[in-house]
Amino acid sequence: MDAGLRCPTARYVDDSGRRRGPGGVSASGTVLAGWRFNSSGRAACWVNGAPRTLASLVNAVALDVSRDGATAVGRNATSDNATAYGTATRWSTASGTGTSLGDLAGGVTHSEATRISADGSTIVGWATTAAGVVAFRAPSSGAMVSLGDLAGGRTFSEALAVSANGSVVVGRSHSALGIEAFRWTTGTGMVALGDLPGGAFLSSATAVSGDGTIVVGLGTSAVDGEVFVWEPTRGVRSLSAIARAAWSPLDNYRFTYCRPVLSEDGDTIAGDAIAPDQTQVLWRLTGLRALLANLPTPAVQIQLAANAVSLRFPTDAGFIYQVQQTTDLARVPWTDLGPLIAGDGLEQSIDTTIDAPACFYRLVVRAGP
């Protein structure tokens, strides 16, 4: 695992047959926070491989740990009952002492701390109000404050990641369009990030770079669930399209249940997927910032006359262009249409004919050799 890469939750079984679930790891890799599980879960941490129970009550979990490994956060149960609610909690990994962050006013007492900033200054998560569940942000030694939710839809939001100094929070909320990824700052408040085009409207931001400028998550396109990357200049873009620019095709991989993670420098993204041969694989893409900065996004003009189609698009020197087509977004692989075109700063075109009830086209842009 690359240094600084926040890992997704995993599970493993020790020699006694009891499951463990790491939820976060320190920068040095010497402190893990998670839970120990036999008949029910209990929050725990591992310091240099030695386990330490953080909460003795059932259904308590630790979900993240600060960069220095000193503070873990998660949820502690309110009673020793498998169905009991819990409250957002921070623990000292050195002493095992836990401190409840409480809950927001109204509703049942139920909250959870999902992440802590790398510098340990800020904790984020979700809490319950009279209106519904909403995202919160709290200084590591202070009270939680509601981040609100997106306009429209029912009251719902949850914070899923936070920047290194706690100034940027990302997650998902219920907007007028559906469940939608958001990015929050003190200056802008909660801002909707949108979704990939096509398909049902459903997106969630799962990770953010240390400086808060790059956000990754899972969106929904006409194909299926797809990993997205957001940056301020161009908004939400499909990772598959970005990967093609690096000659790292992920076209036929399925990301429906992926929860992508991002390195603190925002340059490496990783996750899991179902490969074309139906095996589950781990993937990693590096050099993300350069791809985002340099990849052109030309507008394609389509002219249709009877069954004749002409696709025209501008090109930039230093990039390779390939038009592709498919007759079924869900089941038929994309195939190349025409030759590779070396960008020269001029407009290029591809002419073809339609011989199917429906046909879809896309323009693949890659960095030149």
In sequence order, what are the beta bridge partners of 123?
116, 138
pTM of the full predicted structure? 0.77
161 is a domain residue = yes
Name the DSSP class of 240. H
3 is a domain residue = no
Task: Please give the Cα distance from 50 to 94 (Å, whole number).
Answer: 12
Instruction: Give residue 9's pLDDT.
Output: 39
1 is a domain residue = no
The count of domains in the chain is 2
Return the ∠ at Cα 111 (arms to 28 and 62), rounded to 5°. Answer: 25
Contact 303, 309 (CB under 8 A): yes
Residues 69-79: tens digit of each pLDDT: 999 999 998 76
Residues 321 and 281 in one domain: no
4 is a domain residue = no
202 is a domain residue = yes
Contact 62, 72 (CB under 8 A): yes
Q: Final residue of a domain: which of 294, 319, 334?
A: 294
Longest dimension (CA), the chain: 75
Per residue of the chain (369 residues), give pLDDT as tens: 232 333 333 333 333 333 344 578 898 888 988 877 655 567 888 888 888 888 777 778 899 999 999 999 999 987 666 556 889 999 999 998 999 999 999 888 899 999 999 999 999 999 999 999 999 999 977 789 999 999 999 999 999 999 999 999 999 999 999 999 999 999 999 999 999 988 889 999 999 999 999 999 999 988 788 899 999 888 898 888 777 766 666 667 777 778 899 999 999 999 988 888 888 888 888 888 888 877 777 889 999 998 899 999 999 888 889 999 988 876 667 889 999 999 988 899 999 998 888 899 988 887 776
Task: Please give the Cα distance from 311 to 277 (Å, whole number).
Answer: 32
Name the DSSP class of 263. B
Return the ∠ at Cα 27 (arms to 25 and 30), rounded to 5°. Answer: 60
Compute CA distances 318 → 197, 225, 237, 285, 294, whole Å: 27, 31, 21, 21, 10
Instruction: Give residue 80's pLDDT.
Output: 61
Residues 258-270: tens digit of each pLDDT: 889 999 999 999 9
Residues 219 and 95 in one domain: yes
Instruction: Give residue 278's pLDDT.
Output: 86
Return the ∠ at Cα 25 (arms to 19 and 29), rounded to 5°. Answer: 105
Residues 326 and 224 in one domain: no
Residues 284 and 315 in one domain: no
SS3 212: coil
- Please list the alpha-helical segments (H only) found in the chain: 239-245, 288-294
Amino acid letter, 351: D
By C-alpha distance, which of 74, 143, 164 is closest to 115? 74
Structure tokens at 303: 């002219």
Residues 260 and 309 in one domain: no
51 is a domain residue = yes
Range of the domain at 347: 301-367
Residues in the chain: 369
Contact 69, 30 (CB under 8 A): yes
Residues 27 and 168 in one domain: yes
Q: How many beta carbons lie within 10 A of that of residue 366, not counting itself?
A: 18
Residues 95 and 116 in one domain: yes
134: domain CATH number is 2.120.10.30
Q: Final residue of a domain: which of 294, 321, 338?
A: 294
Output Rg (C-alpha) for the chain, integer angstroms: 23
Residues 316 and 231 in one domain: no
Instruction: Give residue 19's pLDDT.
Output: 39
Name the DSSP class of 7. P
Q: Final residue of a domain: which of 294, 313, 347?
A: 294
7 is a domain residue = no
SS3 293: helix
By C-alpha distance, which of 77, 28, 75, 31 is closest to 50? 31
Structure tokens at 120: 């340990």
Residues 259 and 324 in one domain: no
Residues 266 and 318 in one domain: no
Task: Please give the Cα distance from 75 to 366 (Å, whole number).
Answer: 45
Residues 232 and 313 in one domain: no
Q: In what order do the strands lie in the sheet with 157-162?
A: 157-162, 168-174, 179-185, 189-194
Residues 322 and 271 in one domain: no
310: domain CATH number is 2.60.40
27 is a domain residue = yes
SS3 171: strand
